[in-house]
């Protein structure tokens, strides 16, 4: 019995000596590195909606997508991204961040997406975004930004999409874009701010692919003719940033805060702009026509010399080196664009961007390329075939003339109900071309041999151009009536019998 008691003691004390399954040292390292209440799935780390006031200290190094949105974060520590060398997307929206500070993204060289929307940011300093050289999309909308440093975005050399809508910006420099790289920028959202100035010449000088993604709606823009004509032209060209929000483009008239009118609706404010249109601020694109399968060469005809030349295809593909996605387009050493075999998807606007130092654009040149299929060549004229065809048609007409049944004119003659004389006059032919003065012999009738026929002019007797016959003066009136025809009766005969009157 003693050994049984000893065995029970060992069984009770063994779990405490070895530790429980939840104790430290038995869990795999990956699960151990996931912060409390957060969700870790492969390279995704989600700590959203947990009410966090500070960023968790221990973050797994495998995280490539970190979601810290919908919390109560008020500040970010400098260097907190150091363990996250693989981080590609960082979501910090819907927090309480008031300022960023220098060095908070010092180790974010691999970031592609940074979402800082729906916070309480009021200003953006010159060094707040340092370390984000690979950043492509920056979301800053729905904050309280009222000031942007002149070089706030200077280090973002790969930035292509910037969202600054729903803030309190009163000015924005379109001349140098606050250091934004114009060679890559595709989207610049400045909608729903307090912009009271948008110089039309500076907007017209922007690259064409950026104009397509420049959102300026819902701002108190000035109602000037230059800006009005520029936005009208953008709308006519089908730029999506203007067409998609046409009803929300307003301007301030008469310098009265409450007097806002819509740009693209009829208003007396722009009547003088339409009555006396001024010169266009934009140079019209050059029109080119190309055939499918042919080669095409485009030259960047800019007046200012450029240290570097880039092209943008109709699919918004940036071409800064030889080659493209489909391999049919190449940028040559002289800056020209060569298309080996033109296809239908090459139709659209090609934009040449001539850049100076530091990737700042100098000039742009646009080509509107229309692609069509080659017209089929007309067939050679075959004279032998046409000659044979003409002979066959001629032979058919001759045979038709010889063997076709003649026209039965008597049937048409009878349909006119020609008034007939009694007796043997029924045998009078309507086809006769000569009128005999001696009627057929009849027992009851005698005709004089001294009868003559006289033709009267139709114009004098009012018979609508028809010839009327009369009897000469030496006609024997004593002779009984032998033949009497009405002058107005119609005849199927072509000559001789119409309008005959014999007494």
| Region of residue 160 (phi > 0: left; psi between -120 and 50: alpha; otherwise: beta) | alpha
The answer to whether residue 347 sits within a structural domain is yes
362 and 483 share one domain: no
Q: What CATH number should be reported for the domain holding residue 309?
A: 2.60.40.10
Question: Which of residues 292 and 236 earns the better pLDDT score?
Answer: 292
Domain count, the chain: 3
74 and 217 share one domain: yes
The beta-strand segments (E) located in 265-340 are: 286-291, 296-298, 308-312, 318-319, 329-331, 337-339
CA of 55: how far to CAs of 52, 151, 358, in Å? 7, 28, 36
271 and 290 share one domain: no
The answer to whether residue 426 sits within a structural domain is no
Q: What CATH number should be reported for the domain holding residue 37?
A: 3.80.10.10
Query: What number is the average pLDDT over the span 355-372?
Result: 69
pLDDT tens per residue, range 178-212: 888 777 888 999 999 999 888 898 898 887 778 88
The answer to whether residue 60 sits within a structural domain is yes
Element (H, E) at 418: none
> Residue 349 — pLDDT band, cuts 50, 70, 90?
confident
263 and 293 share one domain: no
The values of phi and psi at residue 66, to 5°, are -115, 125
Among residues 275, 308, 342, the one where a domain terminates is: 275
pLDDT tens per residue, range 20-38: 333 333 333 444 578 888 9
Question: Could you tell me the end-to-end alpha-carbon distance of the chain, in angstroms, rounded to an integer?
Answer: 173
Among residues 318, 353, 372, the one where a domain terminates is: 372
- Most confident of the following: 23-27, 137-141, 485-489: 137-141
Whole-model pTM: value is 0.59
The answer to whether residue 12 sits within a structural domain is no
253 and 322 share one domain: no
476 and 502 share one domain: yes
The answer to whether residue 386 sits within a structural domain is no
238 and 259 share one domain: yes
Question: Contact at 8 Å (CB) between 130 and 154?
Answer: no
302 and 245 share one domain: no
pLDDT tens per residue, range 140-163: 999 999 999 988 898 898 999 999
225 and 265 share one domain: yes
Among residues 220, 243, 275, the one where a domain terminates is: 275
Count CB neighbours of 330 within 10 A: 16
172 and 90 share one domain: yes
The answer to whether residue 204 sits within a structural domain is yes
Residue span of the structural domain in which 367 resides = 286-372
Question: Contact at 8 Å (CB) between 328 and 339?
Answer: yes
Which residue shows structure tokens 């230059």? Answer: 226
CA of 275: how far to CAs of 266, 267, 279, 364, in Å? 13, 13, 13, 30
136 and 265 share one domain: yes
From 198, 14, 166, select the one nearest 93 (Cα to Cα): 166
221 and 88 share one domain: yes
The beta-strand segments (E) located in 26-163 are: 39-41, 44-46, 65-67, 89-91, 113-115, 123-124, 137-139, 147-148, 161-163
């Amino acid at each position: 019995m003693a050994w049984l008691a000893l065995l029970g003691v060992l069984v009770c004390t063994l779990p405490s000596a070895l530790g429980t399954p939840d104790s430290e040292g038995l869990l795999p390292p990956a699960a151990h590195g996931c912060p409390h209440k957060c969700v870790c799935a492969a390279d995704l780390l989600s700590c959203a909606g947990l009410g966090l006031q500070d960023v968790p200290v221990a973050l797994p190094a495998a995280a490539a997508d970190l979601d810290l949105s919908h919390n109560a974060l008020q500040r970010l520590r400098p260097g907190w991204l150091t363990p996250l060398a693989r981080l590609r997307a960082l979501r910090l929206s819907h927090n309480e961040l008031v300022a960023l500070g220098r060095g908070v993204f010092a180790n974010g060289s691999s970031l592609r997406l940074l979402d800082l929307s729906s916070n309480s940011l009021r200003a953006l300093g010159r060094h707040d975004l340092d370390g984000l050289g690979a950043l492509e999309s920056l979301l800053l909308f729905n904050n309280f930004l009222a000031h942007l440093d002149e070089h706030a975005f200077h280090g973002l050399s790969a930035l292509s999409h910037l969202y600054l809508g729903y803030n309190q910006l009163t000015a924005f420099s379109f001349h140098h874009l606050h250091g934004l790289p114009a060679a890559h920028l595709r989207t610049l959202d400045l909608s729903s701010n307090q912009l009271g100035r948008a110089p039309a010449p500076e907007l017209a000088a922007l690259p064409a692919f950026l104009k397509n993604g420049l959102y300026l709606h819902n701002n108190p823009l000035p109602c000037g003719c230059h800006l009005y004509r520029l936005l009208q032209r953008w709308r006519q060209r089908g730029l999506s940033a203007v067409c998609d929000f046409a009803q929300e483009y307003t301007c301030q008239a008469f310098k009265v805060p409450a007097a806002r009118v819509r740009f693209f609706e009829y208003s007396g404010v722009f009547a003088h702009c339409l009555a006396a249109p001024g010169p266009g601020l934009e140079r019209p694109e050059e029109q080119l026509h190309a055939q499918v399968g042919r080669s095409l060469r485009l030259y960047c005809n800019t007046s200012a010399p450029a240290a570097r030349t880039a092209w943008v295809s109709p699919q918004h593909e940036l071409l800064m080196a030889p080659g493209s996605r489909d391999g049919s387009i190449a940028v040559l050493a002289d800056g020209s664009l060569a298309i080996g075999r033109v296809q239908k998807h090459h139709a659209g606007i090609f934009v040449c961007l001539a850049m100076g130092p530091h990737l700042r654009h100098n000039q742009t040149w646009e080509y509107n390329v229309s692609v069509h299929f080659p017209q089929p060549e007309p067939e050679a004229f075959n004279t032998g075939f046409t000659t044979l065809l003409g002979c066959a048609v001629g032979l058919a007409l001759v045979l038709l003339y010889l063997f076709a049944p003649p026209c039965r004119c008597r049937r048409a003659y009878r349909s006119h109900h020609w008034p007939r004389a009694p007796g043997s006059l029924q045998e009078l032919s309507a086809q006769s071309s000569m009128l005999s003065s001696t009627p057929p012999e009849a027992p009851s009738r005698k005709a004089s041999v001294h009868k003559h026929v006289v033709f009267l002019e139709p114009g004098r007797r009012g018979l609508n151009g028809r010839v009327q016959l009369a009897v000469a003066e030496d006609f024997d009136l004593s002779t009984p009536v032998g033949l009497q025809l009405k002058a107005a009766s119609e005849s199927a005969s072509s000559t001789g019998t119409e309008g005959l009157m014999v007494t």
